[in-house]
Structure 1
Amino acid sequence: MYEIWENIWKHEKISEWNRLCQIIFEVLQRELKSFEGKRIIEAGCGSGRVSLRLAQHGADVYLLDICKEAVKYAKNISQKKKLNANVNIIRASIFNIPFRDDCFDIVWNAGVLEHFLSYEQLYALKEMKRTCKNGGSIIIMVPYSKAVFYRVGKFYQERRRRWKWGYERPFKTLRQLYNKAAIHLKREFNVGFEEQLAFIFCIPGMGRMAPLLRKLKRLLFILGIGGYLLIAIGIKLKT
């Protein structure tokens, strides 16, 4: 998995901001109200685009990733935006976060846990919890199993050996994982219906259906088709 992601970060063209980044930022903004003075770590930051935006809004941000190329990209963007004063970028593993206990107000990631096996997910989540302050937020965002168009596109690409993201298992819920990690699950919801449509554009003829699917979004939601991301908002309770 490490080699796959090193290759992706080295060769993939990455925009500085996109619609999915905006959705994630707005979720964090809605849940946390203000970033000013908050100590935030993104454990498995990838490009770090959203966290760097949090830094622009006054947060003291830490970006952590095991991939050398991801860290390099995040550092380049941070320097370009002149955010070095309140941005710290570290190459390290989510399974061994190099900070003391009860260190951060918010510990979060998006698009990370789905790439690990169940026991690894729990280990990583417990490590995230360890570094979170009592009363702090632990926020996880992963692909949602009811994002049907994402799953169809993923299946199509896997069958044709075109899927480049490695092992990836969507979630129906994060409740059981949070319970095992002894994290209070405050809320769970899904967002990003339109973002999953990009996964089916590789299927011949499906690109033409996108405008119709967007118009039918409300009906499809009623029928049980969810957004691309499942989001869990957890709180570390005092023990």
Structure 2
Amino acid sequence: MLIQQTSNPDLWNQVWSKSSQDKSEFWEWVERESNGIRGTKIQNYILTHVGDIHKLKTIEVGSGLGIYSFILARLGAEVTLLDYSAQVLTLAEECFQKNALKAQFILQDALGIENDLHGKYDVAMSFGTVEHFRYPQRLQMIETHVNLVRNGGAIVISVPNKAFLPHEILKTYLQRRNKWELGYEGAFNRSEFFKLARQLQLSNSKLIGSAFLSDFQRYVQIYRSTSIFQQIFGSTSAKSQIIEKSSWLDDYFGADLVLLGIKNKKVSYERKS
């Protein structure tokens, strides 16, 4: 099987350059996550354990377009987007400016965070970032989140769930056809996240999932849009609107797993040479 390259700036500049002309997906994600199952759980956790969002300083690691930073900025948070892709930070800044939202944009490798950023934020978060690294960089990326927040600050790390088979099957199919463009992606399982929470000495740690039923419906639509499906079953009607629904399946089989935790000790992780 083709060995997928791990995350690097050249890879992601290429990915984001293809998105420069169409940002409609950004607005779809913003609206979905603002009031969706995952977004609501995250906002409630922050409110309960850290404080009112409009008083907080947040940083999104490997931010991409900064969908969650955008959501929190609309709620009054002081947000920072950090990424090592100059291409995507330019696109993100355009999205924020279009809505008259303020944000700080930092072009930097999350594996080499400057010390003056340590302990500066109330919340450090990432969405679809950590899974693109293998160990030991995988652990170093997560440690970066802990270093960035103050004592008592929260980390929010969202990654693909290995138990959500529709995505894993589609990813494998695209990789075998050399159509997967996102490099290495190693999905997480619940036990890996629980182990990391203990290792990082997080308090009030919690593992949540996105809306499984809605995620499943979206992937049904994705499968129906593929050429091989249409060759077998013919063309399908336009996509139907998906309304997010919560169920007991979410935290186990949702497309995304989210680790939530509070930094309860003044620990700092140094990157080994």
Place the TM-score, normalised by the shorter chain, in its bin: 0.7 to 0.9
Could you tell me how far apart the structure 2 residues matched to 1:220 and 1:82 are? 38
Of 142, 149, 163, the residue aligned with 1:125 is: 142
Contact 1:189–1:231 (Cα < 8 Å) also in 2 = yes
Contact 1:46–1:65 (Cα < 8 Å) also in 2 = yes
TM-score (ref. length: structure 2): 0.75
Displacement of 1:6 in angstroms is 0.7
Could you tell me how far apart the structure 2 residues matched to 1:234 and 1:72 are? 31
TM-score (ref. length: structure 1): 0.85
Contact 1:94–1:124 (Cα < 8 Å) also in 2 = yes
Root mean square deviation of aligned Cα: 3.0
Assess, with a 3 A threshold, how the Cα gap between structure 1 residues 235 and 167 changes in structure 2: closer, same or farther: same
- Structure 2: which 5+ runs fail to align? 1-6, 267-273
Contact 1:178–1:185 (Cα < 8 Å) also in 2 = no
Could you tell me how far apart the structure 1 residues matched to 2:204 and 2:130 are? 16
**Local SS of the residue matching 2:23:** coil
Structure 1 outlier segments of 4+, above 6 Å: 217-220
Q: How many residues align?
A: 233
Displacement of 1:101 in angstroms is 2.7
Displacement of 1:14 in angstroms is 3.1
1:44-193 paired onto structure 2 within 5 Å: 44-84=62-102, 87-98=103-114, 99-173=116-190, 174-184=193-203, 186-193=205-212
- Structure 1: which 5+ runs fail to align? none
Displacement of 1:21 in angstroms is 3.5
Contact 1:143–1:170 (Cα < 8 Å) also in 2 = yes
Contact 2:211–2:247 (Cα < 8 Å) also in 1 = no
The percent identity for this pair of structures is: 25
**Local SS of the residue matching 2:53:** coil
Assess, with a 3 A threshold, how the Cα gap between structure 1 residues 177 and 220 changes in structure 2: closer, same or farther: closer
Displacement of 1:218 in angstroms is 9.1
Contact 1:106–1:136 (Cα < 8 Å) also in 2 = yes
Could you tell me how far apart the structure 2 residues matched to 1:55 and 1:108 are? 14
Deviations 1:191-226, CA, capped at 9 Å, x for gaps: 132336155343515896xx9xx9xx999949x971
Assess, with a 3 A threshold, how the Cα gap between structure 1 residues 126 and 160 changes in structure 2: closer, same or farther: same
Contact 1:109–1:140 (Cα < 8 Å) also in 2 = yes
